[in-house]
């Protein structure tokens, strides 16, 4: 949250920006403060109806607070309120968008690319699949059963067929099942998820690339959540290989508003071949797309977009460059270490069943009851008890298959096809320092959930 020093810093830089326009005849907005204060006071009390996303005790959904530099930069840009649709609407922030996006592309090993920011991961994925449709008309899109639900809906919007490829017990796209499906033909594009939304698992991109050489499909990597972890060092060998293979994808999506510490409204789509720009409707010759004088609106489906998003991202990357071994990478490492530490602790708690060893920073587990349904009810109670203590978790339904190494598929435990699990995303760098307190509270919540039977079962 803004503190007083940050607000003073913002005021200083707003004055500096204002001074740059001092040659204009003086013009000031003079909106009366009192009525605005009355409305803002109502707003601040209404905004209290939220979970405390900014606090380390919030570890539920994928909600990471923006970095202070991003909040300040975004606010500073609002003095201008640029629109990155065209250079006419936002010259400076369009240039910053190109620089920031090029740095993201370099993080994935691309020195050349076509790409831009979007309002979020959904729109970024829509553009990637739209280009895939232009290049492979009449073909089907396939994605793992743990892929984000948006791919199925986007395929529907685009009028493309969509199919799910089963996962293995580790939550990764099953390579044998994939090849069996590829042999039947007509898969034009495969969505490879690096960092699934539910479990943070990574599809085996390196092995999938070998199949691409044989079956010639396009590869779209949805790394909306996980992409930035390519900068991390302490990952498993399998995760490392998947990230290293990203440079060979055809398109990539990453969400700066997830792990990139940006305010909402910041996704990013990248294409390996700048030539795909030809498919965006435009009047200019193809060479226009590799020119520096590019209007971003000519290579994006969305028209008006906040230039402030680009300003915030540019400033964040200036302060925290996207390099292995840098401060930004170290913060992600903290998240990953926190997840491993919580996972190991849960493994040792006799009444807990962990789902998968975390590939990134998401941990899933449940308190073992007599059956799947009883365990699901327990998860709900732990969730409620923790919330009463201001510790905010999330819940996720986990299919029986992902637990087959833990509980035999024919066990009497299975009175349902899935079990509701507790899920936490340890996205904040501060989570690691707060783990001792988090564990203490979790233990209390789990004990109380076991002790107090459900009021109405």
Q: Which residues bind ligand PLP (CB under 6 A)?
A: 120-122, 125, 148, 150, 193, 197, 222, 224-225, 255, 258, 267
Compare residues 194 and 378 and give the one whose CB is closer to ligand PLP: 194
Give the nearest distance from C-beta 287 to ligand PLP in angstroms.
32
Please state, as a whole number, how many other Cβ atoms lie within 10 Å of the Cβ of residue 164: 16
CA atoms of 225 and 223, how far apart (whole Å): 5
The distance of closest approach from Cβ of residue 154 to ligand PLP in the complex, given in angstroms and rounded to an integer, is: 10
Identify the sign of the CA torsion 59, 61, 64, 65.
Answer: negative
Measure the CA–CA gap between 452 and 448, rounded to whole angstroms: 6
Q: Closest CB to ligand PLP among 188 and 195? A: 195
Phi, psi of 240, rounded to the nearest 5 degrees: -55, -50
Q: Which residues lie closer than 8 Å to 283 by C-beta, 6 or more apart? A: none
Q: Which is nearer to ligand PLP, 198 or 446 (CB)?
A: 198
Query: Would you say 428 and 56 are in contact if contact means Cβ atoms under 8 Å apart?
Result: yes
| In the complex, minimum distance from the CB of residue 254 to ligand PLP, in angstroms, rounded to a whole number | 10
Distance of closest approach, residue 197 Cβ to ligand PLP, in angstroms = 4
The answer to whether 202 and 239 have CB atoms below 8 angstroms apart is: yes
**Closer of 76 and 146 to ligand PLP (Cβ):** 146
Cα–Cα distance for residue pair 301/281, rounded to 1 Å = 9
Rounded Cα gap, residues 124 and 115, in angstroms: 10
Q: How far is the CB of 97 from ligand PLP (least distance, A)?
A: 17
In the bound state, the residue with its beta carbon closest to ligand PLP is: 121
Give me the least distance between CB of 222 and ligand PLP, in Å please.
Answer: 5
110/225 with CB nearer ligand PLP: 225
| Closer Cβ to ligand PLP, 129 or 382, answer by number | 129
To ligand PLP, the closest distance from the beta carbon of 306 in angstroms equals 14
Contacts 24+ apart (CB under 8 A), 8-14: 9/72, 10/72, 10/75, 10/76, 13/72, 13/76, 14/76, 14/79
With contact defined as beta carbons under 8 Å apart, do 378 and 213 qualify? no
The residue (of 255 and 361) whose beta carbon lies closer to ligand PLP is 255
Q: Do residues 65 and 6 make contact, with C-beta atoms less than 8 angstroms apart?
A: no
228 or 314: whose CB is closer to ligand PLP? 228
Is there a contact between 73 and 97 (Cβ–Cβ < 8 Å)? no
Query: Which of 354, 356, 363, 351 has the alpha carbon at shortest distance from 445?
Result: 351
Q: For residue 343, give the nearest of 357, 332, 331 by alpha carbon.
A: 357
**Shortest distance, position 118 Cβ to ligand PLP, whole Å:** 8
């Amino acid at each position: 949250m803004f503190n007083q020093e940050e607000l003073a810093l913002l005021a200083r830089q707003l004055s500096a920006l204002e001074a740059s326009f001092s040659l204009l005849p003086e013009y000031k907005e003079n909106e009366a403060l009192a009525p605005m204060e009355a409305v803002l006071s109502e707003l601040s009390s209404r905004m209290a109806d939220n979970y405390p996303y900014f606090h380390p005790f919030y570890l539920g959904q994928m909600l990471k607070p923006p970095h202070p530099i991003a909040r300040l930069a975004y606010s500073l840009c609002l003095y201008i309120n640029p629109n990155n649709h065209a250079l006419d609407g936002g010259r400076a922030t369009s240039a910053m968008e190109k620089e920031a996006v090029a740095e993201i592309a370099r993080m994935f090993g691309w020195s050349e690319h076509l790409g831009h920011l979007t309002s979020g991961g959904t729109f970024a994925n829509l553009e990637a699949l739209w280009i895939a449709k232009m290049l492979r008309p009449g073909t089907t899109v396939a994605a793992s059963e743990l892929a984000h639900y948006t791919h199925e809906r986007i395929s529907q919007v685009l009028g493309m067929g969509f199919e799910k490829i089963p996962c293995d017990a580790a939550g990764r796209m099953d390579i044998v099942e994939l090849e069996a499906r590829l042999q039947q033909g007509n898969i034009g594009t495969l969505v490879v998820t690096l960092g699934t939304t539910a479990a943070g698992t990574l599809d085996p991109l390196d092995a999938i690339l070998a199949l691409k050489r044989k079956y010639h499909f396009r590869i779209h990597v949805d790394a909306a959540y996980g992409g930035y972890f390519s900068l991390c060092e302490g990952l498993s060998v399998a995760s490392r290989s998947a990230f290293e293979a990203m440079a060979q994808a055809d398109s990539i999506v990453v969400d700066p508003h997830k792990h990139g510490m940006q305010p909402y409204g910041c996704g990013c789509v990248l294409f390996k071949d700048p030539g795909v720009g030809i498919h965006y409707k435009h009047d200019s010759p193809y060479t226009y797309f590799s020119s520096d004088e590019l209007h971003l609106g000519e290579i994006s489906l969305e028209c008006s977009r906040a230039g402030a998003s680009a300003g915030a991202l540019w400033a964040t990357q200036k302060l925290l460059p996207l390099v292995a071994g840098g401060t930004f990478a170290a913060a992600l490492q903290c998240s990953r270490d926190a997840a491993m530490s919580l996972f190991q602790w849960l493994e040792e708690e006799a009444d807990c069943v962990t789902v998968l060893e975390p590939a990134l920073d998401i941990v899933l587990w449940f308190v073992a009851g007599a059956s799947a349904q009883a365990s699901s009810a327990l998860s709900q109670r732990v969730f409620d008890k923790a919330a009463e203590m201001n510790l905010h978790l999330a819940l996720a339904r986990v299919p029986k298959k992902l637990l087959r190494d833990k509980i035999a598929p024919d066990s009497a435990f299975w009175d349902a096809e899935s079990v509701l699990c507790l899920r936490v995303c340890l996205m904040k760098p501060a989570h690691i320092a707060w783990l001792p307190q988090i564990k203490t509270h979790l233990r209390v919540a789990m004990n109380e959930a076991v002790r107090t039977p459900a009021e109405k079962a």
